[in-house]
Amino acid sequence: MKTRHCLLTTLCLSIGLIPARAQFYLDGLNHYNNGGTVSYFQDSAVVTAAGNYTAAAGALTVHGGSIFHTDGAYTAGGGSRDSFPGNGSATWPPADATKTISGSVAPTFDIASFTNGAAQPLDITNTGGVNIATSLSFSNGITSTVRSLNSNGALRFANGATYSNSALGDAQYVNGYVSKTGNSAFTFPVGSQAGNNVRTLQISAPGSATDQLSIAYWTGDAAAALDPTPSGTQSRSSLNPAGTAGVDQLVSVSPIGFWDWIAVSGTSSLTVTVSLPEFSGNGGYSSATAVRLVGWNITTQQWDNLSGSTGASGLAEGSQLTGTVPDMSQYSAIAVGNVLEIPLPLDITAFAGYMDRSCAAHLEWAAANIIGVEKFVIQYGRDGQSYKDAGEMACSDASSGQYRFMIENIARGDAFFRLVTRDRDGSITYHSRIVKLRSECSLEPVPTVTPNPAKDHVTVSGLAPGSSLLLLDATGHQLRAITAQHAAEQIDLGGYSKGLYFLHIVDGRKNVISKKITKQ
């Protein structure tokens, strides 16, 4: 037969009765609640070092005060329930309010409910943390633990224990450490220390019922010694070069945030999935396929790539990233890294051209997968064997594009053209596609303008004595007039703005050759 017990000034609750406001206080007393109901609705409840409280057989304890303090043993089991509604010291029913679980001895709850208000914090400052034997229901706002105490002050879930959330998200998670013991899969409902960003970490089922892992998320760089758990003698900055060269080799670890990983016991291999912060356009992480889950290896003192060749589901906040921790005891932090991607090979198609009546060769081509390519160099030759540079074009920032290029004054006879690409890392590639054209122009010298495009000056070569050079802007307004004294004359463009200009070359027979000049 179940009995109901009263604790000192605590008034027992009978079914259907409004609980009285009283203080729960144990000093050197042992109390056993066998299926009864106990409540307190004044400022605090105290279990002193000399007292203890045990609940069983479905007992209910209502923590209506603002503070629950335990320096003695508090053990609830056998289907007993502990409820933390709002502060009832001033009103009934309890109004939403901040709750605090303090003390030096961790209370053990069998079935607990944090119900002090959807936006209200529940602060666990107990230096021993809090133990959950069966289940915990979150209906409050942010639950916090003392981060400097790491796993000692954590919210701990026993083997088989679970939790439920009324609204898991940026407004409801654990700001601090959550610990899990057992061999069942688990999602750590952790988030940032700022109190506005949930960053969950999920693990597969460990191999042993005694395996214990404690996790907290930290906003900031893992190399900055933010968390209280040491990772070795070196700062967390070294990258493990292992992996397939150019594909899985880590090139960076994000300073945005990381998960402190404390393997209290166990050596199981675990599959880990994390919820990412916002990476779109942030810190050079521009490709979800290049993102990797990484772990700080306490033996090698390096970041390991835990994802192999698998990237993230996306770069937006809440995207998922998965990896494998081969031995949970070998790591002290989990973070997000980036690998060096091998771009697809450049694909040049539709390379073709034609010769116009003014001895100019017009070339055009299409290119795909040009990421990493700095520029095209167009080369010209007379025999199809030897070539010289005839001009160059910068590549666009897009992954593909259409290009056109004109080379003037091609001498009579066959003309061969090919493309060379120069990558941003300085490497050069000679492409096998060749365009052969036929020029029917006379062999008389034709003035040439180089370089074009130009930055500060151009040189006009092949001039007949007495030729006139007229420089005009894009509207046709004459800027300069020069009478050639030599076969080559230099025209200074340093004082002009970037854009298109025209150069009219008038020889002694009043023949006019017009050239376009692009000022860069």
Tell me what the pLDDT averaged over the chain comes to.
85
The torsion angle over the Cα atoms of residues 64, 68, 72 and 75, rounded to 10 degrees, is 50
**Tens-digit pLDDT profile for residues 118-176:** 999 999 999 999 999 999 999 999 999 999 999 999 999 999 999 999 887 899 999 99
Q: In this structure, is the dihedral angle defined by the CA atoms of residues 308, 311, 317 and 322, taken in order, positive or negative?
A: negative
Structure confidence at residue 92 (pLDDT):
67
Could you give the angle at the alpha carbon of 492 between the alpha carbons of 487 and 493, nearest 5°?
130
What is the rounded CA–CA span in Å between residue 202 and residue 188? 6
Number of folded domains that form the chain: 3
- Are 454 and 435 in a shared domain? no
Is residue 13 domain-resident?
no
Structure confidence at residue 380 (pLDDT):
94
- Are 129 and 229 in a shared domain? yes
CATH code for the domain of 482: 2.60.40.10
- C-alpha closest to that of 228 among 154, 304, 337: 154
- Are 434 and 483 in a shared domain? no
Structure confidence at residue 445 (pLDDT):
63
What is the rounded CA–CA span in Å between residue 392 and residue 195? 54
Least confident of 218-222, 345-349, 447-451: 345-349
Residue ending a domain, among 439, 470, 497, is 439
- Are 213 and 262 in a shared domain? yes
- 327: pLDDT strictly greater than 90: yes
Are the CB atoms for 89 and 41 separated by under 8 Å?
Answer: yes
pTM of the model: 0.65
- Are 200 and 262 in a shared domain? yes
Structure confidence at residue 194 (pLDDT):
84
Structure confidence at residue 245 (pLDDT):
43
Report, as an integer, the average pLDDT of 457-464. Answer: 87
Is residue 176 domain-resident?
yes
**Token couple for 400:** 């593909």
- Are 230 and 377 in a shared domain? no
Higher pLDDT among residues 23 and 380, named by residue: 380
Burial class (CB in 10 A: 0-12, 13-18, 19+), 432: exposed
Is residue 390 domain-resident?
yes
For strands 44-47 and 201-203, give the pairing: unpaired
What's 196's DSSP letter?
A: S
Whole-Å CA distances, 516 to 449, 498, 499, 519? 9, 13, 11, 10
- Are 189 and 71 in a shared domain? yes
- Are 54 and 141 in a shared domain? yes
Note down the domain range covering 490. Answer: 448-519
What's 16's DSSP letter?
A: T
- 27: pLDDT strictly greater than 70: no
**Tens-digit pLDDT profile for residues 467-511:** 888 998 888 888 999 888 888 889 999 889 999 999 988 877 677
Is residue 339 domain-resident?
no
Whole-Å CA distances, 86 to 38, 47, 128, 135? 16, 20, 23, 20
Are the CB atoms for 492 and 508 separated by under 8 Å?
Answer: no
